[in-house]
Amino acid sequence: GAGVSQSPRYKVAKRGQDVALRCDPISGHVSLFWYQQALGQGPEFLTYFQNEAQLDKSGLPSDRFFAERPEGSVSTLKIQRTQQEDSAVYLCASSFTGMAETQYFGPGTRLLVL
Amino acid sequence: DAKTTQPTSMDCAEGRAANLPCNHSTISGNEYVYWYRQIHSQGPQYIIHGLKNNETNEMASLIITEDRKSSTLILPHATLRDTAVYYCIMTIIQGAQKLVFGQGTRLTINP
């Protein structure tokens, strides 16, 4: 079956541009997570949705980062006025319920801010 | 979440068993041990998890010490495709839990 998909796979932005990263979770998965992975580091949590409700956004690094999941399926991570330090791989993961269950990750979007 | 300690890197010969250790001395009774791996340029992939009993699936075996303060992931017959960064993660049983990744162990399988 289809796994988690993310688009675009690669994004180059000029500093100051806004970007939108899309995540399509596995169909029927209630929980959706976003992670940020800097080069050579492990992924770091950004935010978590249960259906359309954003229950945890404690990992978002600044108010330039915004995530939504309006219909409880597809999610978009938006970064406004991108900075060079935003360059990273952005990973999306989903799980059936989120209750201590396996998270299934997408391939990530590699963002490069010049 | 409990902090885990893993070796930075390990090497293993193809066809041999790869044994990856993880220390989690501060683990609490309601925390699972999860293992994920990340092959270059891919998202993390679930391998196995356990609470206090040893576990085995088609990918690996997980050995958890009786005091639960450490565990070992065993890949019984490593192949070149097992070259990846392996993460040992603690996560509590109840509630949706973000995964707290450390640096992981970079495992290289040599031909």
Residue B49: the pLDDT is 92
Question: Nearest-CA distance from A92 to chain B in Å?
Answer: 9
- In sequence order, what DSSP letters do the residues of chain B get, joined into one string? ----B--SEEEEETTSPEEEEEE-TT--TTEEEEEEEE-TTS--EEEEEESSS-EE-SS-EEEE-TTSSEEEEEETT--GGG-EEEEEEEEESSSB--------EEEEEE-
Probe site for chain B from A48, A105, A109, A110 (most B CB atoms < 10 A): A105
Give which of B90, B84, B103, B86 is closest to B39, Cα–Cα. Answer: B84
Probe site for chain A from B22, B86, B97, B101 (most A CB atoms < 10 A): B97
Band (A99; pLDDT cuts 50, 70, 90): low
Residue A93: the pLDDT is 96
Parts of chain B with a pLDDT under 50: none
Using CB atoms within 10 Å of the CB of residue B11, give its burial: 0 to 12 exposed, 13 to 18 middle, 19+ buried: exposed
- DSSP summary character for residue A59: T
CA atoms within 13 A on the CB side of B81: 3
Band (A101; pLDDT cuts 50, 70, 90): confident
Residue B1: the pLDDT is 53
Q: For residues A103 and A33, what is the distance between their CA atoms, to the nearest angstrom? A: 9
Residue A96: the pLDDT is 87
Band (A42; pLDDT cuts 50, 70, 90): very high
Residue B106: the pLDDT is 97
User: From B93, which residue of chain A is nearest by alpha-carbon distance?
Assistant: A100
Instruction: Write down the mean pLDDT value for chain A.
Output: 94
Q: Would you call A6 helix, strand, or coil by DSSP?
A: strand
Nearest to A91 among B43, B49, B92 (CB): B43
Q: Judge contact between A114 and A87, C-beta under 8 A.
A: no
For residue B87, the cross-strand partners are B36
**Taking CB atoms and an 8 Å limit, are A31 and B102 in contact across chains?**
no
Question: pLDDT tens across A25-41, in order?
Answer: 999 999 999 999 999 99
The answer, yes or no, to whether residue A1 has pLDDT greater than 80, is no
Residue A30: the pLDDT is 92
Nearest to B96 among A31, A102, A106 (CB): A31
For residue A106, the cross-strand partners are none
Band (A100; pLDDT cuts 50, 70, 90): low
Q: For residues A86 and A102, what is the distance between their CA atoms, to the nearest angstrom? A: 27
- In sequence order, what DSSP letters do the residues of A89-111 get, joined into one string? EEEEEEESS-BS---EE---EEE
**Taking CB atoms and an 8 Å limit, are A43 and B99 in contact across chains?**
yes
List chain B residues with CB under 8 Å of A100.
32, 91-95, 97
Question: pLDDT tens across A64-84, in order?
Answer: 999 999 999 999 999 999 999
CA Rg value for chain A: 13
